[in-house]
Amino acid sequence: MASWLIRGVPMALVHIVARILLGVAVVNAPLHGTWWKVIAVAVVIVIAVIWGGIDGISDGRAHDDPDDYGDLTVLWLKAGLVAGVISGVVCWALSNFALAGMGQNSFFIELIAGASFTALLVFVPAFTGAGLGRYLARREARSAATHDRQPETV
């Protein structure tokens, strides 16, 4: 199975669950809707940053030379697009047929604007996390190399 699909489907599920919980929270506490929205977006961002960071650390540890790094940019872009399309279709269906409070956007708005927003909400933080993870892996490798070169003095 493609690694972008393994990342995209769970991120779509994270976004769908966040939208469902956001809809329930807004219906039950409408005066705090802004805070619920911020929390829902933050959860999706944090999960994408952590997962991208894990990818970046493992890629940085696997390759000594930065020129040999894997292409995490396209990987996470595809994952974001998959997450956007899946969550757009599922959230549209849920909002129109099952759950109140999620909003009732048209199918095309949900599929184009919602999917684009979700794709960026997954891609940008995951790519940032991957860059940070690679930086941490390089720093760890440099620290270990410096420590190995220094003679012990007693």
Q: What is the mean pLDDT of residues 9-15?
A: 95
Interatomic CA distance for residues 151 and 154, integer angstroms:
10
- Is the pLDDT assigned to residue 68 strictly greater than 80? no
Q: What is the reported pLDDT for 17?
A: 94
Q: What is the reported pLDDT for 148?
A: 66
Interatomic CA distance for residues 23 and 147, integer angstroms:
53
Higher-pLDDT residue of 102, 109? 109
Q: Taking all residues of the chain, what is their mean pLDDT, rounded to a whole number?
A: 87
Q: What is the mean pLDDT of residues 7-22?
A: 93
- Is the pLDDT assigned to residue 93 strictly greater than 70? yes
Q: What percent of the chain has pLDDT over 70?
A: 94
Handedness of CA 12, 14, 20, 22 (dihedral sign): negative
Q: What is the reported pLDDT for 149?
A: 67
Higher-pLDDT residue of 1, 67? 67
Q: What is the reported pLDDT for 12?
A: 95
- Is the pLDDT assigned to residue 90 strictly greater than 90? yes
CB 87 within 8 A of CB 22: no
Could you report the per-residue pLDDT of 29-46, keeping only the tens digit for each? Answer: 888 888 989 999 999 999
- Is the pLDDT assigned to residue 63 strictly greater than 90? no
Q: What is the reported pLDDT for 1?
A: 61
CB 44 within 8 A of CB 121: yes
